[in-house]
């Protein structure tokens, strides 16, 4: 926070907390189950640069420290398939040969979209203590959780199937 760009970093962090609040990602509780400790959290600060090396934006993520999670207690499954590079090349080749256009998109705060199916408690984000003496209980996933990629995959899969897409069976990694 000693940076000359402090105001831009603070705005980026505030944007993250607004997204977390808007998406009903968490609530605050004072009592967590006996023997459980809230997972620590941290801020990850990154500058995104353009091709000419000028700063495009200040990107901030509030993340859970996954190395403190315990399998079977905080999470169960973590596997999330991704398309292989070979399949991507085939799709791009077919699109080129048929003169089709290819679109891509970025889903802002993607990992905040999926419902979490285990009880996970987190420490409050440093610098944003909303309720003194309380911890966060997650309703949705956040970045840094072991199972975050799997939860997002399931949300995306369900949304794509709902609008008529089918999974490419030849590319199933499981």
Q: For the chain, where are the alpha helices, taking DSSP H only? A: 6-22, 85-97, 148-162
Q: Is residue 83 part of a domain?
A: no
pLDDT digits over 102-158, tens only? Answer: 998 888 788 888 898 888 888 888 887 777 778 888 999 998 888 888 899 889 989
pLDDT digits over 9-52, tens only? Answer: 999 999 988 888 888 998 888 877 777 788 899 999 999 999 99
Q: Is residue 116 part of a domain?
A: yes
CA distance 88 to 157: 17
Q: Is residue 150 part of a domain?
A: yes
pLDDT digits over 41-78, tens only? Answer: 999 999 999 999 998 899 999 999 877 767 766 666 77
According to DSSP, the β-strands at 135-138 and 121-122 are antiparallel
Q: Is residue 66 part of a domain?
A: yes
Range of the domain at 121: 6-78+108-165
Q: Is residue 138 part of a domain?
A: yes
Q: Is residue 86 part of a domain?
A: no
Q: Is residue 156 part of a domain?
A: yes
Comparing C-alpha atoms, which of 44, 59, 61, 75 is closest to residue 145? 75
Q: Is residue 54 part of a domain?
A: yes
> CB atoms < 10 A from the CB of 153, how many?
15
Q: State the pTM of this model.
A: 0.74
pLDDT given at position 86: 87
């Amino acid at each position: 926070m000693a940076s000359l760009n402090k105001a831009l970093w603070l705005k980026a962090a505030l944007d993250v907390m607004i997204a977390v609040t808007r998406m009903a990602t968490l609530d605050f509780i004072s009592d967590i189950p006996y023997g459980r400790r809230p997972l620590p959290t941290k801020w990850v600060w990154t500058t995104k640069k353009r091709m000419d090396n000028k700063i495009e934006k200040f990107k901030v993520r509030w993340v859970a420290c996954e190395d403190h999670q315990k399998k079977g207690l905080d999470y169960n499954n973590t596997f999330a398939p991704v398309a292989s590079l070979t399949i991507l090349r085939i799709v791009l080749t077919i699109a080129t040969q048929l003169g089709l256009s290819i679109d891509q998109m970025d889903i802002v705060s993607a990992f905040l979209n999926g419902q979490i199916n285990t009880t996970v408690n987190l420490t409050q984000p440093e610098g944003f203590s909303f309720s003194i003496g309380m911890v966060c209980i997650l309703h949705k996933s956040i970045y840094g959780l072991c199972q975050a990629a799997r939860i997002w995959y399931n949300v995306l899969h369900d949304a794509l199937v709902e609008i008529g897409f089918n999974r490419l069976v030849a590319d199933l990694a499981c």
